[in-house]
Structures are given as structure tokens and as C-alpha cells.
Amino acid sequence: MSTVDEIKPAIGLFRAYDFDVVSPALPCGAAWLGSCLLELRIPSWNPWGMNNTGDWQHCNENTFQFTPGNHGWKTLFPGLYDGRTCVFKAKPVPRFHHSLPGIYPRKQKTVFIIRDPRDCLYSSWRRTLNGKTLTAEGFCKFIDGNHQLSNLSVQAYLLNYLYLWRSALESRSAETYLIIRFEDFKSDPVAVFKRVAKFLDINVSPGEIENACWISSFQQAQKAEQSLDASFRDPCAVNRAGIAYEYQQTFENCMHDAIDKGFSPYLDWLGYKPLLS
């Protein structure tokens, strides 16, 4: 697969990315990690291909101020507030993206963020409804409809994403990648972030980690989103439920049946419950 030209931070002293944070373009909670890193003075420049450099005024060296305005960024990074000044660490600098392996030049380390595929699909469907009636038939139609970033159906996109990234990660040495699951950082965010910090050689205290995880929690993100002016909010709430294994409370038999059986090896790989037969 050919690579594309890398979009670099190109702001202040930040001229390159140091590691990748990869997740499918479906709700997986990757913003939680971005928020935690930000609270520990590690910036996220142009996350997921969205240019945010214009929202930060460069003061000097590694010091930046978040410019005044009712920014939608607060939905993803709840600790941001107008005029906040951050003295960022020079390294490491994460590159957040949804791309397939081989699209960008590979970095030495990769954090792969994933969620139970059934919840990925369900949460993505709920985001599209915007007040429309919930029906099992609607979910089945959605997952077999076109994914906006590919020529595949929504569930085929996710299946292909897991296939390619599993192959890419398992071809590397184990110390170069870390898999973190949505369900695990919902259950014990501090423990998960300690794993991330160790993997990335980030030197922070337990108290700093606890504070970063609290600020980045679903409750704080939801509160920040609700405080935004309506023009900066997504039509369907980004921070909607924030719970693990929501599908177990909502799936009807036909919804289970609609999930592609090809997910089975990836559920096993990631430690999730098998598909219902």
C-alpha cells in the first residue's frame, strides 16, 4: 500500500509526530486518550485530520494559549477553556488517525484503540438517528449501508479495518504496539493510562494521572458538550451514553443475526464474548 505525504504539526517547535494513536472511524473513545495526554501537557496537533493549530496562539517556545471562542473541541477535550495556557512537553507528540496501515509513514510505536465491534456499530448508528425512532430493522439496515469513508458497508469497513491492523500489528515486535480497549478504560481508566504512560515512557506521577483521567471522564466530556452553544454541537450528542457493552442491553435477536460472522476471530483476539449463534 502506498504512503501519502504526512501532514505534520508545523507549529512552534513541533515539526514531527513521534507515535501513532490508531482507531477505526467509528465510536471507540479515542478522544479520552487525547484528553488525558493534553492534561499531562502532551499536545494533539491536527487530530484525525482536523486542523486545530489555528485555535492555539503560540506564545513562546512550547507555550500556547487556547484562543477565546465557543470551540467544539471541548466536546473531545473537556479540560479546555477559553484562554487556557499550556506549556507543552516537547515529546512525545501523538498522531491521531483512522487510517489503514501503510497510509502514513510508520512510527516506532503504535497505540491501537478498539471497542467491541457490536458496540462500535450500535453507537455509530445511534449517532446518526438525531431523534428518529429506534428499531432493530433500522440498525440492520444501517450496518449494511455505505460507510462514509470507504466503498464498503459499515460493518464490512470495520471488519476490513480489524483484518488489516491485526495483520500489521502482529507482523511487528510486541514492544512496538499497545492495544487498549474502550471497555478497560471505562472500567479502570487510571490503570489503563498507567500502561500507556509506561509504553510511551511518559514520566508522570500517580496523582497527575488520576487528575487527567477525571477531567477526561465521560461525565466531564458530556458536561462540556452540553455547555457549548448549539452551533458548535453535533446534531446527535457525541457524548451520548459512555458505557461499555451497551449492545447487551439493547440487541434483539435479529440484530445479533445481522452481525457478520467474520468478526468471530477478532472478538477472540481482543478478548470479547463470541457472537450469538
Task: Report all structural domains of the chain as residue ranges with CATH numbers, in order of start.
Answer: 19-116+160-233 (3.40.50.300)
CA distance 104 to 112: 15
233 pLDDT tier (thresholds 50, 70, 90):
low
- Whether the pLDDT of residue 239 is over 70: the answer is no
48 pLDDT tier (thresholds 50, 70, 90):
very high
- Whether the pLDDT of residue 164 is over 70: the answer is yes
* Cβ atoms within 10 Å, residue 138: 14
pLDDT higher at 130 or 148: 148
Task: Determine the average pLDDT of the residues in 15-43.
Answer: 94
- Whether the pLDDT of residue 5 is over 80: the answer is no
- Going by C-beta distance under 8 Å and a sequence separation of 6 or more, which residues neighbour residue 133? none
- Whether the pLDDT of residue 4 is over 60: the answer is no
Q: In 3D, which of 31, 27, 224, 29 has the Cα closest to residue 126?
A: 27
- Whether the pLDDT of residue 218 is over 90: the answer is no
- Whether the pLDDT of residue 3 is over 70: the answer is no
Per-residue CA distances from 195 to 28, 37, 120, 206 (Å): 18, 13, 23, 12
pLDDT at residue 50, as a whole number: 87
For the whole model, what pTM was predicted?
A: 0.91
Q: In 3D, which of 250, 119, 93 has the Cα closest to residue 182?
A: 119
pLDDT at residue 71, as a whole number: 77
